[in-house]
Structure 1
Amino acid sequence: MNKQQGFTLIELIIVIVILGFLAVTALPKFIEVTDDARQASVEGVAGGFAAAVGLVRSQWEVDGKVSNNAGPNITTLEYDRVTVGLDGDIGYPTNRGTSNSQVTAMTRQDCKDVFDLILQSAPINTVNSNNAKDSRYYVQINAAGSNSPQCIYYLTNSLDTENLANLPGSEVPNGSITDGFSYFPATGQVTVF
C-alpha cells in the first residue's frame, strides 16, 4: 500500500495564521521605512548643504573679508573651482557672483545657483514647475527682495507636482506635510522640515 504524505488541513491553517500574524506586525514597519528613508535623504542633502555653507563662509573669513584688507568687502570667492557670489557684509553664499550678490537681491534662480554651486554633485533641481517631475528638488524663495529672504528646497516626491504653480513660498504649503529644507542666507542657517 502506498501511503500519501503531505500537510494536513490543520497544519496549513496554522502556517497561514502564523504568516498573517507576521504580516500584521511587520507591515507597518515596512511602510514607515519609506518615510524614514525619504526623511534621511533630505537630512543628508541638508547636512551637506549646511557644511558647504560653513566652508564658503570660512573661506571668506580666511581670505580676509575685504579686498586687500583696505578695499570693499569680498563679494565672490573661488570654491571648488567655481566662483560663488556672497554677501560681502556677512559672507554667506547668495549667487553665481555675476550680479548684485547682496542677500536682499536674491531670486529663486539665485537659490538654485547656490544649491548647484556649493554641493559638488547636487541633486537635480529646478525653479520651473513644468520640470519638477523630472527633478529631485523644487526650489522656491520666500520673501524675495526682503532683508531676510529664505531659500526653500522641496523634495519633489513629497509634493503634488500638478499644482506647483499655486505653491506659496513657505515651508509647509497649504497646510500639507512635505519634506525639504530651507536656507536663510542672512544667517547661514539650514533647517530641515
Structure 2
Amino acid sequence: LAQAGNCIMCGACYSECNAKEVNRDFVGPHALAKAQRLVVDSRDNTTENRLEKYNEGTKGVWGCTRCMMCNAVCPMGVAPMDQIGKIKQDILEGIETYDSRPIRHRKVLIDLVKEGGWIDERKFGLQVVGNSFRDIQGLASLGPLGLRMLVRGKFPLSFSPSAGTSQVRSLIESVKNLESEGSDQS
C-alpha cells in the first residue's frame, strides 16, 4: 500500500506510456497504480466490481504493453507496471472461466506449455482466438492466416512434446505453489 501511496501525480509515467500513445481508451499507469491500493484495501467491499472494471478490454490492465517506461521514469519508486501486474494476478486468481481473450491467452499459454513443454500452435489459436470453437468470428479470422501458413509450408501439421516436458511442468507447479504460499501469507 505504501509504495502506491507515494505517487505524487506528477504525470511522468503517463507522459512516457507507450500504451497510451496507441490506445486512447487506456486509463494510464498512474490511475491503475492508484487503483491497486483499493484492490488490496480490506475495508473496500466493492473489490470484485473494481476488478471487473479493470478487466474490461484494453481500457484497464490489459491495455498495458509492459514496456517498463513508467517504472523507469517514476521519481517516487511507485513502479506502476508492477502495480498493474498485481491487479492482473488478482483478476486471474478470481476467474475460472476463460471469458475474455486476454485471460484465455494467458491461461491457455500456461496450460499448453505445461502439457507439452512448449506451445502447440495449432491448439493455441483455436483455444485463444476461436475460444475452443465457441467464437465463430474468431475462428473465421484464423482462416486466411492458416491458409497462408499452409501454402508456405509454415503450418505445423504435427506436434511433438519437448524432451524436457516433465521439468517444465515441475517448474510451473513450483511457481504456482510459491504464488499460493505467498497469497496465504498476505
Q: Could you state the TM-score of these two structures normalised by the residue count of structure 2? A: 0.25
Give the structure with higher Rg (CA). Answer: 1
Higher relative contact order (CA 8 A, sep 6+): 2
Q: How high is the TM-score relative to the length of structure 1?
A: 0.24
More helix by share: 2
